[in-house]
């Protein structure tokens, strides 16, 4: 399937992303709740093409499991192993990188479209958005088989853009707590309460075709283990505020298993 125009990818009647009033409404939702969900953002034929591409590329995915703190920081010797700063959770998933995404993929057409990029800028307040300079990091597809999960964490980036491609029959719930920490308060007690099960997080419901913008730098979040035999598939669209930025070599090696 060759998809070259946004009107064959996005339902522009329902989501007029070039309309300033619509963009401002979306921004208000994102600023207020920390998350924006646009159901059925991708039209069915384009979603079918994206799902087929993801399925065909699965054998090229790099799978790994990692232990990490929710703050994504190294062990802090100032605190005990059981302290919130050092307690480890597990993330396990597969990933294919930008260089595997086809040139005629609807994902690439969406990512490269100036109208879509302007909409993301309007929603997030960013003045400029650029692709990664490396060949791996701009567009990724993530896979989670039965038992695989994304552990609790805070993001390093100001916002994330994801598109759900395939949803399992059970599990793989996106859970979060808005603004659990701030720039001047790591809120170790609040994180401990969550990890101990004393705090119940919110659950974000979404179906395939939904576009999600999420501010995760201060809102802790996870994707619970997949409890079905249907693989969860999710596209991640990543931009930078500055041109010429590459994901670090250590991060590429960790997440993708290769540098290029």
Q: How confident is the model at residue 1, as a pLDDT?
A: 38
Q: Could you report the per-residue pLDDT of 37-78, keeping only the tens digit for each?
A: 999 999 999 999 999 999 999 999 999 999 999 999 999 999
Q: How confident is the model at residue 171, as a pLDDT?
A: 98
**Domain CATH code at residue 91:** 2.60.120.620
Rounded Cα gap, residues 100 and 113, in angstroms: 19
| Residue 250 three-state SS | helix
Q: Is residue 1 included in any domain, yes or no?
A: no
Q: Is residue 219 included in any domain, yes or no?
A: yes
Q: Is residue 148 included in any domain, yes or no?
A: yes
Domain count, the chain: 1
Q: Is residue 55 included in any domain, yes or no?
A: yes
Rounded Cα gap, residues 128 and 99, in angstroms: 23
Paired strand residues for 244: none
Rounded Cα gap, residues 112 and 190, in angstroms: 39
Q: Which residues of the chain have pLDDT under 70?
A: 1-4
Which pairs with CB-CB distance under 8 Å and at least 24 residues apart come from 68-73? 68/151, 68/153, 69/153, 70/151, 70/152, 70/153, 70/154, 70/191, 70/195, 70/220, 71/153, 71/154, 71/186, 72/153, 72/154, 72/156
Q: How confident is the model at residue 248, as a pLDDT?
A: 86
Q: Is residue 84 included in any domain, yes or no?
A: yes
Q: Which domain holds residue 227?
A: 6-256
Q: How confident is the model at residue 4, as a pLDDT?
A: 56
Q: Is residue 151 included in any domain, yes or no?
A: yes
């Amino acid at each position: 399937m060759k998809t070259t125009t946004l009107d064959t990818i996005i339902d522009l009647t329902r989501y007029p992303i070039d309309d300033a009033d619509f963009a401002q409404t979306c921004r208000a939702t994102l600023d207020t709740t920390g998350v924006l969900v646009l159901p059925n953002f991708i039209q069915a034929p384009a979603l079918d093409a994206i799902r087929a591409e993801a399925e065909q590329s699965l054998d090229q995915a790099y799978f790994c499991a990692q232990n990490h703190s929710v703050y994504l920081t190294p062990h802090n010797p100032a605190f005990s192993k059981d302290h919130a700063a050092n307690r480890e959770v597990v993330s396990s998933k597969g990933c294919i990188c930008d260089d595997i995404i086809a040139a005629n993929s609807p994902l690439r057409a969406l990512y490269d479209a100036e109208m879509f990029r302007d909409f993301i800028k309007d929603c997030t307040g960013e003045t400029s958005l650029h692709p990664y300079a490396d060949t791996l990091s701009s567009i990724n597809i993530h896979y989670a088989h039965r038992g695989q999960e994304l552990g609790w964490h805070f993001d390093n980036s100001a916002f994330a853009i994801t598109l759900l491609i395939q949803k399992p029959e059970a599990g793989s719930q996106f859970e979060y707590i808005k603004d659990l920490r701030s720039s001047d308060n790591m809120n170790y007690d609040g994180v401990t309460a969550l990890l101990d099960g004393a705090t119940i997080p919110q659950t974000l419901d979404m179906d395939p075709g939904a576009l999600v913008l999420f501010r995760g730098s201060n809102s802790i979040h996870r994707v619970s283990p997949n409890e079905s035999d249907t693989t969860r598939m999710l596209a991640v669209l990543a931009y930078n505020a500055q041109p010429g930025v590459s994901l670090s070599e250590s991060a590429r090696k960790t997440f993708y298993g290769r540098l290029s």
